[in-house]
Amino acid sequence: MPRPTIRDDELRFVALRAQGAGGQHVNKASTAVQLLFDVHRSSLPEPVRLRLLALPDRRIGSDGVITIKAMQYRSQALNRADARRRLEALIDAACHVPRVRRPTRPGRGAIERRLEGKRQRAHIKSARRARPEDER
């Protein structure tokens, strides 16, 4: 299934100050970006929306809002692009329709091989046992 396009008006970006090392630049420049995407209000197809909400990802809140925080780069524009790329990867994962597993029965050859292995193992174990005539 091709990935549906995400409209720019469905995304909300919030500029934040980045964490960690970086000296004075980190303390005064808001280069980190938080991307907010409301799955319920999005234009995604219903099956993709349901699979997206069912993904076991901690970035997806119980209210259906995806929050992605990007602060890898020193540029806010690069962090915006990174956050959007990560959202698209999440949506790509939801676009993948899992194949339905149909249970099958083992073939006759597989059953025979399993039973032959069990017979061999039983023979090995029975050979280890002490017999009454051996104890005299």
**Over the stretch 38-75, which tens digit does the pLDDT of each residue have?**
888 888 888 888 888 888 888 888 888 999 999 888 88
Q: Would you say 72 and 82 are in contact if contact means Cβ atoms under 8 Å apart? A: yes
The answer to the question of residue 131 being in a domain is: no
Question: Hey, is 56 helix, strand or coil?
Answer: coil
Structural domain count of the chain: 1
Domain-located, residue 124: no
Q: Which residue segment(s) compose the domain that 34 sits in?
A: 8-95
CATH code of the domain containing 27: 3.30.160.20
Amino acid 31: pLDDT: 83
In a domain, 121, yes or no: no
pLDDT band at 135 (very low <50, low <70, confident <90, very high): low
CA distance 25 to 74: 9
Distance CA 56, CA 78 (A): 27
92-130 residue pLDDT tens: 888 888 899 999 999 999 999 999 999 999 999 999 987
What pLDDT sits at residue 79?
A: 93
